[in-house]
Amino acid sequence: MTCMVKVTNGAILLPPGVNLPEGAEVRLTISDSLAQPPFAERYAAFIGMADDLPADMAANLDHYIHGHARK
């Protein structure tokens, strides 16, 4: 069986008259038109923007943000 459904508040609502037994397994196919582009494509404008950060930024993030001792 194939049917069109709507998402409301994060829940998938079945059309009237479509009754599935409790525990039924269903396959959900999301339309390609609704799929988001990959992370790198969405944020391509920002990649490489922060080229003046300290070399140890990742290891000492708490130091640079909160002033904690360096590792």
Question: What is the DSSP secondary-structure string of the chain?
Answer: -----EEETTEEEPPTT----TT--------TTTSPPPHHHHTGGGTT---SS-TTTTTTHHHHHH-PPP-
Residue 62: phi and psi, rounded to 5, are -60, -35
Distance separating alpha carbons of residues 40 and 47, to the nearest angstrom: 8
Model pLDDT for residues 7-66, shown as the tens digit of each residue: 889 898 888 888 889 999 988 887 776 677 889 998 999 998 988 999 999 999 999 999
- Are the C-beta atoms of residues 5 and 12 closer than 8 Å to each other? yes
